[in-house]
Amino acid sequence: MDFHRIFDILDYQQKRYPHRVAMAGREDGNWRTWSTESVISERDSISVGLLRFGLQAGDRVAMLAHCGSPRWMIADAAMLQVGIVPVPIHTTARPDEIAHIVKDTALKGCFVSNQEMLDRITAAGLSANAVFLLEDKKGAVSTKYGGKSWSELLVKPDESTLARLQELRSNISPETLATILYTSGTTGLPKGVMLSHENIVSNVKSVLAIVPVGPETTSVSFLPMSHIFERMVTYTYLAAGVPIWFSDSMERLPKTMMEVRPHFFTAVPRVLERMYERLIEERDRKNKLSKKIMDWAIALGERFPYSGSRAMPLDYRLKRILADILVFRSWRKRMGGRVQYIAVGAAALRPRLGRLFSAARIEVREGYGLTETSPVISFNRFEPGGVHFGTVGIPAPGVEVRIAAEQDEAGNGEVEVQGNNIMMGYWQLPAETAERFTPDGWFKTGDIGRFEYKRFLKITGRKSEIFKTTTGKFVAPGYVEQQLLGSQYISQCMVLGLNQPFVGALIVPNFQHLEAWCLENQVHWTSPQYMVLNPKIEKFFREEIERINEERLGPVEKIRAFTLLHENWTTENGLLTPTLKVRRDRVEESFKGEIGKMFRE
């Protein structure tokens, strides 16, 4: 048996890898599990309930939930198999963005996970009578709720309704529109990306060929299911027969990791950064000798030499064994003790973190993709010779990648892609869809990159972000920002310089590391708001940036001025997108005074 449509994947698992625990999620504080058979049964019952509610093939129904869950997956599959088009919405979306999606897709309904999500979707213009509740907790919604609870949607199909379900399934081809996902974007209102069953299934099959997961593997899912990356990955888990345990919040993730003890999970770089920060927090609580041992082990890990075809020197191998005994083993235990692999996407991973985790026997591999490409374009492999830290890996099977003919002196040009994973287009935006394709049919990603080591793709910037200084030279801010983020003392940054005589940067320090530096250098610590104004801190950062200028940046790219900021950029304050990319226009607007002062100096 094979699968060609997304909803076929559950039946494929039942045929090849029937599980007693296919999925698990928390309900009222306790774990509840679903077998493959019970997931399929519940999927069919929800499909019948949606049809009885009056929904039909082609209708758009949103998903607005604070976390992933088995019921999220069941509702998704239930809609897909009767031709209803799921429209996931990021919980971090602004009210105007949600209202735009409601109107743009003419939503006929929405699944929500709690009262807050209900309030947000009804405030955006959707009738409460068209809302379905993913959870059946008492008091989860107020008395004004007028839609359907999960239990009310569960209608066991009889022979006639089963025949109706089969008829609707047979009308859905691989080329049928499966879902609409709204890109967060760094400017303007989001656009709806239309993905077919074939788009997503082709990417699932590509990933299955290069990721070491199977029925013996346990996974944890904690990234938002509204992102195509995690959504596609969960389909991949199902196709590989991997049990999925859903974490109900990022705050509970450390506890969930200890309870589930996963072998594999996907993450954004910030999750790995937080795990690293917890290691540093532990280091700061140690005595002087233990601190030196941990510093030595961390520095050793960040020099991990195994990359591409490079062999591991014998002396490094021996030191790694010692570091594992002294430091890394206990670090792994705090992640459950069984983690072997982590796949990272959505944003650039700092190479030193990839090396450190891999040195600690947790193989971290970075990939690259877009919502429009379902999403994986390239990925560093887990097999020997398949990784180069600092790149986004080798094109995925079935995906062709080329660099546009217009290139700079270093060989950087726009990354163009072709394959069955490329979107159908933007919802109701034919002109914008046409603009994203070359005359010979290749999709233009908008990212700038080049190939290194013959087949490894390296992303060096975003085409729309490249600017020219008054010297007439072009600068790719993304590349410069990657170099700055290589410093453990820099948490976030944004490089500027359009029509300016030099390049400057807004910098949010890593205050945890900065506080440790202050302690070691007898600098009195108060609070971030005042520390960014401290002359000793400014001098320290100037020295750190000069080091990066000399070691990593070309003459035109060097940072000549910078401003330290005391508050992190987050999705809550509107300075990051739901996928944690910097909203450059909003950062510029928020700090236009600081930027103006920086370039006047």
Encode pLDDT of 77-119 as tens digits.
Answer: 999 999 999 999 998 888 888 999 999 999 999 999 888 899 8
- For every residue of 61-105, DSSP letters joined together read EEEE-SS--HHHHHHHHHHHTTT-EEEE--TT--HHHHHHHHHHH
pLDDT, position 186? 47
pLDDT at 56: 94
| 51 falls within a domain | yes
Mean pLDDT value of segment 63-79 = 94
> Which of 6-10, 23-27, 345-349, 486-490 is predicted least confidently?
345-349
Cα-based torsion angle of the residue sequence 439, 440, 442, 443 in order, rounded to the nearest 10 degrees: 20
Helix (H) / strand (E) element for 338: namely none
Mean pLDDT estimate for the chain = 90
Give per-residue pLDDT as tens, 483-525: 898 888 999 999 998 888 889 999 999 988 898 899 889 899 9
Residues 484 and 457 in one domain: no
pLDDT, position 139? 45
Domain annotation covers residue 379:
yes
Q: What is the pLDDT of residue 576?
A: 85
Q: How far is CA 505 from the centre of its chain?
A: 25
pLDDT at 601: 57
| pLDDT at 278 (0 to 100) | 86
Q: Is residue 284 situated within a structural domain?
A: yes
Question: What's the pLDDT band for 173 if we cut at 50, 70, 90?
Answer: very high
| Residue 588 structural domain | 466-600
Q: Which three-class secondary structure string do you get for 227-265?
A: CHHHHHHHHHHHHHCCCEEECCCCCCHHHHHHHHCCCEE
Task: Give the residue-averaged pLDDT of 146-175.
Answer: 91
Contacts of residues 308-313 at CB distance under 8 Å and 24 or more positions apart, as own/partner, are 308/385, 308/387, 308/388, 308/453, 308/456, 309/384, 309/385
279 in the same domain as 183 = no
For the ranges 36-40, 346-350, 450-454, the maximum mean pLDDT occurs at: 36-40
Indicate the residue among 171, 196, 221 that finishes a domain: 196
Classify residue 205: in a domain, yes or no: no
- Domain assignment present for residue 19? The answer is yes
Q: Are residues 373 and 390 in the same domain?
A: yes
Q: How confident is the model at residue 357 (pLDDT cuts 50, 70, 90)?
A: very high
Report the candidate in 177, 12, 156 with the shortest Cα–Cα distance to residue 79. Answer: 177
Report the alpha-carbon distance of residue 544 to residue 94 in Å, rounded. Answer: 37
Return the axis-axis angle of helices 197-208 and 228-240, rounded to nearest 10°: 60
**Angle formed by the axes of helices 535-552 and 477-484, nearest 10°:** 120
Q: Which residue has the higher pLDDT, 294 or 185?
A: 294
Same domain? For 303 and 390 the reply is yes
pLDDT value for 109: 94
CATH number of the CATH domain containing 535: 3.30.300.30
Q: What is the CATH number of the domain that holds 40?
A: 3.40.50.980
488/439 same-domain check = no
Strand order in the sheet with 177-182: 177-182, 192-196, 425-426
Co-location of 454 and 495 in the same domain: no
Q: Do 519 and 435 share a structural domain?
A: no
pTM: 0.84
C-alpha 2: how far from chain center? 28
- Taking the C-alpha atoms of residue 191 and residue 304, their distance in angstroms, rounded to an integer, is 41
**pLDDT score of 44 more than 50:** yes
Residues 85 and 109 in one domain: yes
Mean per-residue pLDDT, 337-365: 90
Domain boundary among 166, 196, 226: 196
Domain boundary among 449, 464, 479: 464
Q: What percent of the chain has pLDDT over 70?
A: 96
Are 420 and 346 found together in one domain?
A: yes
Same domain, 422 and 499: no
pLDDT band, residue 313 (cuts 50/70/90): confident
Say if 217 falls within a structural domain. no
Instruction: Quote the number of domains for the chain.
Output: 3
User: Is residue 3 situated within a structural domain?
Assistant: no
Residue 314: give its domain's CATH number.
3.40.50.12780
Are residue 122 and residue 19 in the same domain, yes or no? yes
pLDDT at 251: 83
**Residues near 472 by Cβ (< 8 Å), separated by ≥ 6?**
none
Continuous H helices in 339-495: 351-359, 430-435, 477-484
Instruction: Label the pairing between strands 363-369 and 341-344.
Output: parallel
Question: Within a domain: residue 518?
Answer: yes
Same structural domain for residues 331 and 363? yes
Whether residue 477 has a cis bond before it, omega within 30° of 0: no
